[in-house]
Structures are given as structure tokens and as C-alpha cells.
């Protein structure tokens, strides 16, 4: 990473236009920890940033990340859209710098890796890395996504076998199979998919005669949703997390 000015650093992290970022520095509202505690910076100073480097803007702590990789525990009653139609947007749960990060494409800020229905809870990844989003979303990559679901009526092994063998959805003549399927209760099942079609879990269960009344995504790749991350909370993905996500076997 080459050295950049602090206004450019703030701009890259989503703190506003370059003019706004320069104003924040000039007003003495930016401090950076270069290993010896938070120190005031000026707009003529250049720095070679590293991932995780701590700084502070208007008294708010932040970390530098060349690319943003974020995990959000999606709560029910939210839409995975920047322009929601009925329910609040999941993006409203994120701080404004994540929503305003500049991008070379027309889409500003981090983007969701796939979508979850408004009533579905659980693990949602977001990033401004287009290659990462494609790799995690593409059915050709076979990234497993694990769902815990609850049905209106009791489940049985016959339903499990049908889901493993493949069911036909009304928009695709090719059968869709579950990568794994295990009963976890009389009305509960853990289902693993490696592709993502519209309302896929609910439609697959409907194809075997069951209505889903609760749906939660528990894992993507080799990374599970942390038990200490409450609905509506988010955190940065660490290098170790990214390695776990890619450990899909």
C-alpha cells in the first residue's frame, strides 16, 4: 500500500467527499494511532495505512480496511435492499461510512452477498469486494449455506429423502437437491444448499408438502454465525474468518 494523505484515507473509508474529509482534518477532528496512542493529524501528513489501523473521527473510533468484509446478524422484519418497499433496510443497521464507501462501480458502499427474505434471520455477509461477492454467491462455486428451519406441521424422514434426491420447482424443470438435510426436531430441520434461488428453502419445503414458519441462516462456507452477535449487530470479518468461510469441505 502506498502512502496517502489523511483526507484521501478518510475518503476511501466512506467519511464523505474529499472536500468534507479535508475539512474534518483541518478542523482537528481526526486522530490516528500509529503505535504510540491517538495523535492529532493534519491534511499535509501522509501515511501508509494497514488493515486494522485505528483512528478516530469526531470522537468515534474506526478501523482502516482496504476492502470491507462485514458480518451482520440479520433480524426479522428487514429487507436486503437499499430501497426497501415495506420493511426497514438492513443497510440502516450499518454505520454511514460502510454505506458511503466509494466504489468504481455505480453501487456505493458495501453490498449484501445474496439476499434473505424479510422474515428470515441470521448470517448475512456484506462487502465492497466484487470478486468476493461473486465467489460467495455464484452457484458454480458450491459454497454451502446452512439453514435452520421450523415447519407448521411435523416433518419425517420421507421429506428428508425427497429433498436429498431433488425436487422440481415451478420455474426450473431441473430438480434442485439439498446438499445435506437432517431432522433436528419434530418440526425442525437443518438444510444445506449450495445455490441460491428465489425463496428456495420455502419452495423446496412446499414441494414436499410443508410450510416453513421460521427460517434462520446459521452458516456460510466454514464460518458459523457467532453466538455472541445479537440480531441487528455487525462486526468486521477477520482474516481467520475469511479463511473459515473458504474452508467449505
Confidence of residue 1 (pLDDT cuts 50, 70, 90): low
Confidence of residue 249 (pLDDT cuts 50, 70, 90): very low
Which residue of the set 8, 117, 119, 129 is catalytic?
117
For residue 108, the model assigns a pLDDT of: 87
- Over residues 187-212, the pLDDT tens digits come to 999 999 998 788 899 999 999 999 99
Furthest-apart CA atoms within the chain: distance in Å: 69
> 234 pairs with which residues across the strands?
72
Q: Which three cell numbers stand for residue 193?
A: 444448499
Residue ranges and CATH numbers for the domains of the chain are 4-63 (3.10.290.10), 69-140+222-246 (3.30.70.580), 144-220 (3.30.70.1560)
Respond yes or no: is residue 61 known to be catalytic: no
Pairing between β-strand 30-33 and β-strand 167-169 as defined by DSSP bridges: unpaired
What is the mean pLDDT of the segment spanning 57-74? 96
For residue 34, the model assigns a pLDDT of: 77
Count Cβ atoms below 10 Å from residue 117 Cβ, excluding itself.
Answer: 17
Amino acid at each position: 500500500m502506498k502512502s496517502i494523505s489523511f483526507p484521501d484515507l478518510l475518503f476511501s473509508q466512506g467519511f464523505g467527499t474529499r472536500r468534507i474529509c479535508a475539512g474534518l482534518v483541518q478542523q482537528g477532528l481526526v486522530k490516528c494511532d500509529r503505535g504510540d496512542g491517538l495523535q492529532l493529524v493534519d491534511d499535509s501528513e501522509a501515511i501508509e495505512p494497514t488493515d486494522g489501523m485505528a483512528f478516530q473521527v469526531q470522537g468515534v473510533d474506526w478501523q482502516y480496511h482496504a476492502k470491507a468484509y462485514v458480518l451482520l446478524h440479520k433480524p426479522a422484519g428487514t429487507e436486503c435492499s437499499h430501497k426497501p418497499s415495506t420493511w426497514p433496510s438492513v443497510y440502516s443497521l450499518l454505520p454511514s461510512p460502510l454505506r458511503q464507501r466509494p466504489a468504481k462501480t455505480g453501487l456505493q458502499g458495501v453490498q449484501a452477498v445474496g439476499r434473505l427474505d424479510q422474515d428470515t434471520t441470521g448470517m448475512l455477509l456484506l462487502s465492497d469486494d466484487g470478486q468476493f461477492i461473486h465467489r460467495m454467491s455464484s452457484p458454480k462455486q458450491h459454497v454451502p449455506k446452512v439453514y435452520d428451519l421450523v415447519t407448521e406441521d411435523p416433518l419425517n424422514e420421507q421429506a428428508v429423502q425427497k429433498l436429498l434426491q431433488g425436487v422440481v420447482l415451478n420455474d426450473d424443470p431441473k430438480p434442485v437437491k439439498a446438499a445435506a438435510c437432517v431432522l433436528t426436531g419434530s418440526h425442525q430441520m437443518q438444510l444445506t444448499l449450495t445455490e441460491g434461488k428465489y425463496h428456495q428453502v420455502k419452495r423446496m419445503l412446499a414441494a414436499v408438502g410443508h410450510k416453513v414458519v421460521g427460517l434462520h441462516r446459521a452458516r456460510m462456507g466454514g464460518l458459523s454465525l457467532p453466538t455472541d452477535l445479537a440480531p441487528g449487530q455487525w462486526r468486521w470479518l477477520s482474516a481467520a474468518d475469511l479463511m473459515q468461510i473458504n474452508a467449505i469441505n
